[in-house]
Structure 1
Amino acid sequence: MKSPHRSRAWIIFLLGLLSVVTPFAIDMYLPAFSRVASELGTTTSVIALSLSSYFIGFALGQILYGPLLDRFGRKRPLYVGLALYIVASAGCAMAGSVHALIVLRFVQAIGGCAAQVAALAMVRDFFHAKESARIFSLLFLIIGVSPLLAPTIGSALVSAVGWRWIFAILGAYALVTLALIFALLPEGHTPDASISLKPKPILEVFWFILKEPQFCTYALAGAFSFAGLFAFVSGSPILFMDGYHLSTKAFGLVFAVLVMGFIGGNQVNVFLLKSFSSQQIFFYALLFQVAVGAVLFAGTYAHLFGLPGMMVLFFFFLLSIGLTYPNAAALGMAPFSRDAGSASALLGFLQAGTGSLISTGIGVLGASWIVTLLSSSALAALLILLVGRTRIVEIAEAESVTVAH
């Protein structure tokens, strides 16, 4: 018989496996953009739409799985989601056209979203409230580290065996994870038949949440600020591999270095919260993001920056998002206790949905719009914050957490 400590270690390990399904699906094939475009007879900007379709599917999945995980328990929806992800991954590996790849990436996201949503929900199932904060931090650290590893693995696969093997590996990873979940993970939540799956009551709860000025202000401002990260992820292969002619291996290294800015900002936030409120950190970090975005925009169109200058600016731009994101989430969630689950799902939907719109804009408008969309999303976030704050009568205090993409 396993000791409680060993059982808990297994649960944390399995939740960690689930947590990186989507980050790996997003980041691992970034170095393959040029190869995929060449083989499918299109441009890297069009290939970026396959990333946008994943973001759209991930956004919709936030809304879909919340009620399903409460109604049917955690494991059954998770089985269905991972099975769908595996089938879609196989389809991506065999895709014969860019249109098929775009559609299959959407399906892959709908399936893969179950893994991350279920993992975060099961932290509450298996661990006490005081301990769950530590487990959340551990999972978010795992999620945050994955962008450092995924492009490196992806570039190695592209160089050695071709881009299609990236999706084969993603499917195999999900298959192994599904088998381990089936065999080793207990059911953490008793199915609740009283949870309604009808659209009307679900939409009524979401509308109630959206009418809260504090949620609307900080969720939307945070979503547009966070969209800068989506723009970077979607546009970086085009910018660095096409624009600066980096190899797949060099791109993987540059991407890992720049993502450290986001992770670093996230960790700096922990120390800043000891002396400043989430409101203060969010406002000044957003001002900094707008300023860096303005310099990036002006310098790019005036052709002032080489590769080192661009890397420095992107590093600080992502660092500012590492500060805005957790505080926006905390401030948006603060007014809710009873509907915290629905508020969290809606928050995730707004973040991923806004990011998918920005990344779709890059695919449709082309490489020349990358910096424009990235900079304007930060400015839009600041305008939303300045207008929205006038509608908040009394601010609910935030319990800020460290969060990573």
Structure 2
Amino acid sequence: MNSDDDVPPSDGDDIDEGMADDDAEIDNAPLEAETHADEAAAFVTHTEAVLSVAICPTNPQMIVTGGQDDVAVLWSLSEQDGSVTVTQRQRLEGHTDSVTQVSFSHDGQYVASGSYDGTVKIWTADGALLHTLEATKEIEWTLWHPKGHALLAGSSDTMVWMWWAPTGKLMQIFTSHAQRVTCGCWPNGGKLICTGSEDCSIVVWNPRAGTPQQHLRQLHESPVVCMCAHPESPIVVTGSEDKTAKVVQVETGSVIATLTGHDDSVEAVAFSNATGLLLLATASMDGRVQVWNAKKYDLRCTMRDHEGSGGVTTLKWLPPSHSELLCTSSTDRTLRLFNALSGQCVRTLYGHSDTVLSLDLSVVGGANLCVVSGSDDSTCRVFAVSLNGAAPDPEPSVTATG
């Protein structure tokens, strides 16, 4: 692809260069959100569930949210004398159904909103609408290229769409799945695409040709729910309703490992951001988070702090400066911060009154964690957590192995 945003990518460009051109424990009593309000700020503009939240990677004071009320909203955070203020910058209107996914491009230049109305809208970081990209049915997820402005979208129509966001040009339509496409990622440094489906399969695609390189049919016994790409190797990890995660070498299509131990659907998988010891986390509706060594894929520890009170809906690792920490959200209305090396719960974040559906985070100033969450309670909440000398919650429920 050419580096000029006004020129569509050419078929002869290398995919890697082209897409990177722009260059407290929960007890058994019911939770009362009013008595456990740990958030630094909250915003309540949405009138229905907040399905997706994202923090700008280049300006962590900017946030975008998407809701079941058909609206996306741009927000800004400011702090003065220890007090956090949330200001609405722009309502991103025009969708006619739930906004299922919002995200910033890697450089913070663009915002994408995907909706069940079958469209993806591309906005500037200031909230000006650039393009409305038409698919055919509900948009399940969107995903930016890790180094550029190509955008993927998975749909309920069994297809995956790829656009060049600056111009709105449709680059490819990928067709091989038999059912709803539930997740996707960019493995091998963004040179490949991998997608997962309700048809229990994953497909590895050549982005240029739009053709399958590998099609692992019946990889799982139940629908594929989530996936993530290894940060360095051509490896993808998938999570499924069949209670397992699979580690797949995408160039050969071979299954390296099958990760077991969960008793319910695996809802989230993610590699850590470590520069040394690389870890993999899997999270499930059984309330457990399992941490695996990402070399031999042996189990390191199991965190059970959500177990018995709710399932884990998503997880996110902290940046490299605190790569041993990860944050989870749950149907138990809390978020939890875990140390994946010790298996201990460092902090429990209260404030929501219903299932926490989405989260994003950033570390500011080296030791200040900002967590933004969206919930079925129609609110987004901002939590400020000091990472200096944080003591673990008492009596963490941990099963350690090896």
Q: Give the structure with the higher percent strand.
A: 2
TM range, smaller chain: under 0.3
For normalisation by structure 1, the TM-score amounts to: 0.27
- Choose between structure 1 and 2 for higher RCO, CA contacts under 8 A separated by at least 6 residues: 1
Q: Give the structure with the higher percent helix.
A: 1
For normalisation by structure 2, the TM-score amounts to: 0.27
